[in-house]
Structure 1
Amino acid sequence: MKIFDCTTFFDENLMLEVRLNILDKYVDKFVIAESKYSHSGKKKKLNFDLSKFSNFKKKIIYIVTENEPSNLIYKKEKNLLLEEKEEFRRNSIKRISKQRDSLLDGLSEAEPEDYIFYSDNDEIPNFEGFNLKENKSKILIFKQKLFYYKFNLFCDRVDWYGTKGCKKKDLISFAWLREIKSKKYNPFRLDTIFSKNKYINLKIIQNGGWHFSQLKTPKDIEIKLLNQEHHDEYRIAKENLPTVEELVKRKSIAYDHKAKSSDYKYSKEFKLKTLPINSMPLFLQNNMNKYNKWFDYDVS
């Protein structure tokens, strides 16, 4: 039985470096997919450089998503294809799904009983103490802590269900895997029989890892916000670089994770909490000097 860790890549060299080092002793292959288009549809250069991760060269399988999805929705006007406001999110989701599903091209070495895990690049699963050989559940979902800006600036408002996995023989697509509900349903729920995202045979892994969101400079955070799936929300909120800089300085976020999908997300501000360094993955504890600027030491 092998483990394939699959993720997408934009330009997150820091997070990928940390990811590879934390997971190296558990993972047999790292499958990484990068697209030539951002999730907002902008043409981008390929940023992944294998030479920066030479220690993991034999384990890395790198996939390039060459084209945009064929089913994007545009309005044609004067021979120009324009993306209307109401289609921003739908088209973003289609781009993300295409990039994720391109990871399937990196699984040619995987056997039916091998485990396939998907995470966004900044979602790192914690495999410590979990025995996959004894697992009987079809779907595995990792309950993770959410952090912003620094490795130890903790957002306590929500539990983050990031990494999800299953055996190769059960994998339908990565888009499917990502959309599975993070809940184990009652065996008597008839809707689970026909549903593709509600499962009974599912296990939630407690203490399942870390979601290190926006570990970037304020300038790079804004670039990401303008190009990610939720770029429409950021534009509507009329946030800008000075706003991001102030939020980082105040150790706060302005995004409400508990708001309904139809609600405005940038209506409130939430303070982050500084956690002790010993609550971090062992690799980070052992390399504090190297990543010193990405820790918050002010516990006031």
Structure 2
Amino acid sequence: MGDDVSSNTGNVTVKPEWLRVKAPQMQRVGNVKGILRDLGLNTVCEEASCPNIGECFNAGTATFLIMGPACTRACPYCDIDFEKKPKALDPTEPDRLAEAVRRMNLNHVVITSVNRDDLPDGGASQFAGCIAAVRQVSPKTTIEVLIPDLCGNWNALAAILAAEPEVLNHNTETIPRLYRRVRPQGSYERSLELLRRTRELAPWVYTKSGIMAGLGETHDEVIEVMQGLRAVDCDILTIGQYLQPSAKHLGVNDFVTPEQFDAWRQAGEAMGFLQVVSSPLTRSSYHAEQVRGLMERFPRSKG
């Protein structure tokens, strides 16, 4: 953990033992990929080069990436393409996504998107349409949406919440000091405001956020972000190791030890998060289906 990333040249490249993953069972991975290709769908698992793709595909789960794969922002940590021009929204996408949920027999689905700053509502209507389509074909499936900041369009946020997802996730990604470098088109304050307004507009929804480690943040700075998330009553937190997708992306400042991740988990639980998933390989949607157990332990209702 460092105090400054100004000298980060990305030369920390040798992964420690704890970041190695088992090779996936290719038959099951191929089956899931076959469904996705057949229905013309994208997943963040593939587009963002997630290290857990084998485990998740082998378990028959996926995080669907809608309105993509081209993104209107160029975050230097992210492997999603920002050089292509975004296409017009496809009105068939919600039904195709719902069909994939049905074929994969998912108990819990995560729906995320690229940033679509070119759209007046940031793509909120497409999120709402996907939620409605999944509800129609698989009413027992719980739905988590991982949304962008919508450029602070709170009417768009309200439209997504009106479709009644069980979980609304929006990642803060990093500490405020590193925003200019890591997330130059984002705003830490706007991200916290989105989560605060979600709790205000839909108190029955479980809110969630995530942080990357290994970009030069200090332990105390991570704790401060965690406290900021609890101040807006965020329920669930994920913390995982940042991995450099390619030589053109931000370099890894350091590989954080499993012991440090566990220390953050314990600190978050003491702060009152309902769940903290903190480990080197944790990603925002990793084992997201575990939220179903959380909902049983801490039930909420609109009434």
TM-score, length of structure 2 as denominator length? 0.30
Point out the structure with the larger strand share: 1
TM-score, length of structure 1 as denominator length? 0.30
